[in-house]
């Protein structure tokens, strides 16, 4: 029996001999996630046109535009993170549902938007962060007089990879009751509180890699906001250029205020308020302030997931 016949015989039994092919058994593989910058000046006009094509509740679930990473289009914004901008006109609602992916919303513009999470109505002002952990019922609406926009962040690429992606629309209308019970976790982080914490942090210490940075954490347990995703608010102060480092995690940033540049793997991305950008795993990156006012960045990062797997490494 020659090798070819032997391999065919293995195959008959559902076996494979990887050593019969050349190359190492476990090969290094570079990330396909690309550094990418999405400009608000390009997003906003396209978002404002979207109601002509899609109406939530009428044929469509939600009116969103996804941040599509050209390196991993099937995974969305990064290989682990899905970012989208959701847009609702005054009076519109997005139907109730739940799903296995964990999700978060970071409010961008407009007053009067709300999300109901398991019966708790959260009115979202710009800069507010609201969580919808795995399998919690949620629905959205806009009770204001202007369009509202927010960033959706989901770990759906991870859940999809785990082959347990499930999404259930709610068939029966349920009464929206304030549960009255002690909420298992904080789901609404208000902008004023987060911003105050950031300013307090600026008084005490800064990171050489991120300048002034705070992580949103569960006030009861200290846990990251979601098991897979951590959220951060950071300030790059005038005149600051941070040191470069690399992390095995990846990040999607939203520029809340100000201007700056992030150099990712030797390419410089100049950002302004409203822009989004992604830092792929293991890509060296640093931030530099531009302009006069402090720059403020919100980010979602898959650091908790990597920690849970024992795979978080950081180096400079």
- What residues line the site for ligand GTQ (CB under 6 A)? 62, 64, 84, 86, 94, 99, 103, 138, 140, 152, 154
Considering beta carbons, is residue 132 or 259 the nearer one to ligand GTQ?
Answer: 132
Q: Which is nearer to ligand GTQ, 138 or 288 (CB)?
A: 138
Query: CB of 255: closest distance to ligand GTQ in angstroms?
Result: 19
Closest distance of CB 154 from ligand GTQ, Å: 6
List Cβ neighbours of 170 (8 Å cut-off, separation of 6 or more).
Answer: 95, 96, 97, 98, 137, 139
Tell me the CB-side half-sphere exposure of residue 224, using CA atoms within 13 A.
Answer: 19
Specify the residue, 81 or 214, whose C-beta has the smaller distance to ligand GTQ.
81
CB of 132 to ligand GTQ, least distance (A): 6
Residue whose CB is less far from ligand GTQ, 104 or 233 = 104
How many Å is the Cα radius of gyration of the chain? 22
CB of 148 to ligand GTQ, least distance (A): 12
Least distance from ligand GTQ to the Cβ atom of residue 23, Å: 39
Per-residue DSSP letters for 174-235?
A: -------SPPSS--EE-HHHHHHHHHHHHHH--BTTTBEEEEEB-TTT--BSSSS-EEEEEE
Identify which of residues 151 and 214 has a Cβ nearer to ligand GTQ in the complex: 151
* 73 Cβ neighbours under 8 A, 6+ residues apart: none
CA angle 275, 278, 279 (to 5 degrees): 135
CB 246 within 8 A of CB 284: yes
Nearer to ligand GTQ, 87 or 191 (CB): 87
Cβ atoms of residues 154 and 82 within 8 Å: yes
CB of 94 to ligand GTQ, least distance (A): 6
- By Cβ distance, which residue is nearest to ligand GTQ? 152
């Amino acid at each position: 029996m020659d090798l070819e016949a032997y391999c065919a015989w293995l195959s008959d039994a559902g076996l494979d001999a990887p050593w019969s092919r050349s190359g190492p058994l476990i090969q290094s593989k570079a990330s396909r996630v690309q550094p990418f910058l999405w400009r608000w000046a390009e997003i906003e006009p396209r978002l404002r046109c979207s109601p002509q094509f899609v109406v939530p509740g009428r044929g469509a679930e939600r009116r969103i535009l996804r941040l599509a990473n050209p390196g991993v289009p099937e995974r969305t914004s990064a290989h682990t993170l899905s970012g989208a901008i959701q847009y609702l006109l005054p009076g519109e609602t997005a139907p109730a549902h739940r799903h296995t992916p964990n999700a978060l919303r970071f409010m961008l513009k407009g007053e009067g938007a709300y999300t109901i999470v398991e019966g708790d109505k959260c009115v979202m002002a710009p800069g507010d962060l609201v969580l919808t952990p795995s399998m919690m019922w949620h629905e959205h609406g806009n009770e204001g007089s202007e369009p509202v926009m927010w960033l959706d962040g989901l770990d759906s690429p991870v859940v999809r990879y785990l082959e347990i992606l499930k999404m259930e629309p709610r068939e029966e209308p349920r009464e929206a009751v304030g549960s009255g019970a002690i909420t298992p976790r904080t789901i609404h982080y208000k902008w004023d509180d987060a911003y105050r914490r950031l300013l307090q942090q600026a008084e005490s210490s800064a990171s050489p890699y991120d300048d002034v940075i705070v992580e949103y954490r569960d006030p009861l347990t200290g846990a990251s906001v979601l098991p897979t995703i951590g959220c951060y608010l950071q300030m790059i102060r005038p005149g600051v250029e941070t040191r470069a480092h690399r992390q095995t995690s990846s990040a999607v940033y939203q520029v809340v205020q100000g201007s700056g540049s992030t150099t990712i793997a030797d390419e410089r991305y100049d950002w302004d308020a409203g822009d989004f950008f992604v830092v792929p795993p293991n890509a060296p990156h640093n931030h530099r302030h531009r302009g006069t006012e402090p720059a403020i960045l919100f980010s979602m990062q898959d650091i908790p997931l990597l920690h849970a797997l024992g795979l978080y490494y950081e180096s400079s």
